[in-house]
Amino acid sequence: MTGHDTRTAAVEVFADRTAATRHLADWLLEQALNKTSGPFALALSGGSTPQALYSLMATEPYISRFPWTRMHFFLGDDRFLPHDHKDSNFGMLQRLLFSKAPIPAANIYPIAGTGTAEEAAHSYEAQLKQFYGADRFEADKPLFDVNLLGLGADGHTASLFPGQPVLQEKTAWVAPCIPPVAPYTRITLTYPAIHASKYVVFLVEGSGKKETVAKVRAQDPSCPASQITAMGEVRWLLDAAAAPSA
């Protein structure tokens, strides 16, 4: 099936970050409004790249038009930190979007930042299974409508870092990861959980990511992002600086 993995995924290139961000906000709005029955489940990425998107979604016309009461917000990964820590992805989302948009509190699913990392992973998996309504994925029943991912220069995505045991995870939906190259223990969705998405959207910007985008599209095995697949479609949203050379 085309568009199902990082090699066959459609690539959309935008003049700059602002254009890519606005396109993604418009596309997310369209997806959320077009889903007329059932919850619209979004998994959001951390890091710096998507922050402009989250800020934009909290402004007009988006803040008046998104069907916030039907939308459910999950995290693709987080640093295992208290939510008020400056590097908490949940904390960032709380500041930029969740504290501003009229989202029912029950529709926001933070990853725990206290206790043990294993406990946090297990409780998040239990929340995902309760939301999904089953303990196993059904072939054509995605958990997420849209799964927004970023890309690290080393080829990591979510907190699926090179050489880490989590890359071998075939059954768990959520797992801890202690990346040797990045700060903080992480809690991350696994490949099977990310696969359970109608759309996986990579939002990648800047010349520093150009070579990595090319590697992941060529499914270079040294890049964990190369193994990302979706039940539906994988898509690349790139600014011109990160895009493949013509």
164 closest CA partner among 182, 145, 151: 182
Q: Does the protein bind ligand 6PG through residue 152 (CB under 6 A)?
A: yes
Rule CB under 6 A: say whether 157 interacts with ligand 6PG.
Answer: yes
Angle at 26 (CA atoms; ends 13, 200), nearest 5 degrees: 60
Least distance in angstroms from the C-beta of 134 to ligand 6PG: 26
Q: How far is the CB of 169 from ligand 6PG (least distance, A)?
A: 16
**Strand bridging mode 186-189 / 77-79:** antiparallel
Phi first, then psi: give them for residue 79, nearest 5 degrees: -75, 140
Choices 15-23, 61-69, 150-158, 173-181 (CB under 6 A): range interacting with ligand 6PG: 150-158
Distance, CA of 84 to CA of 170 (rounded, Å): 32
Point out the residue whose Cβ comes nearest to ligand 6PG. Answer: 150
Is position 176 an interface residue for ligand 6PG (rule: CB under 6 A)? no
Pick one of 113, 150, 155, 224: the residue that binds ligand 6PG (CB under 6 A): 150
Question: In the stretch 17-56, what mask flags binding to ligand 6PG with x, by CB under 6 A?
Answer: ----------------------------xxxxx-------
Give, as ranges, the residues between 67 and 106 that touch ligand 6PG (CB under 6 A): 76-77, 89
Is the CB of residue 176 less than 8 Å from the CB of residue 160?
A: no
Q: What is the widest separation between alpha-carbon atoms in the chain?
A: 49
Q: Around Cβ 30, how many Cβ atoms within 10 Å? A: 10
Residue 212 binds to ligand 6PG (criterion: CB under 6 A): no
Q: Is the peptide bond before 61 cis (omega within 30 degrees of 0)?
A: yes
Query: Given the rule CB under 6 A, which residues bind ligand 6PG?
Result: 45-49, 76-77, 89, 150-152, 156-158
